[in-house]
Amino acid sequence: MGPGFMWDRQTELQAATNTQYFSTDPEKVKIDMVAGVPMRRLGDIEEIPGTVAFLLSEDSSYITGVTLPISGGIL
């Protein structure tokens, strides 16, 4: 499970912190982190281009000064 090296490294480091919030097992940390995403899954790279295309199109011509998170619901 996971999108690559940075994901694996992040979960390893989180597990190594030995806090009350996450397990010391990196695989359990991965499960817990995904469970914290409201959509209950990791995002996929194919979900990005549609948003970028919208922002580059005339359909977004009245949008200014906002951040549009592509986050699965994480604030």
The answer to whether residue 13 sits within a structural domain is yes
Count of positions (residues) in the chain: 75
41 φ/ψ sector (left φ>0, alpha ψ -120 to 50, else beta): beta
Q: Is residue 64 part of a domain?
A: no
* pLDDT for residue 6 is more than 70: yes
| pLDDT for residue 34 | 94
User: 22-35, pLDDT tens digit by residue?
Assistant: 999 999 999 999 99
With respect to residue 67, please indicate whether it lies within any of the assigned structural domains: no
User: What domain range is 39 assigned to?
Assistant: 5-59
Residue 27, in any domain of the structure: yes
Buried b (16+ CB within 10 A) or exposed e, 17-30: eeeeebbeebeebb
Which among 34, 37, 12 is positioned nearest to 25, based on CA atoms?
12
Residue 45 belongs to a domain? yes
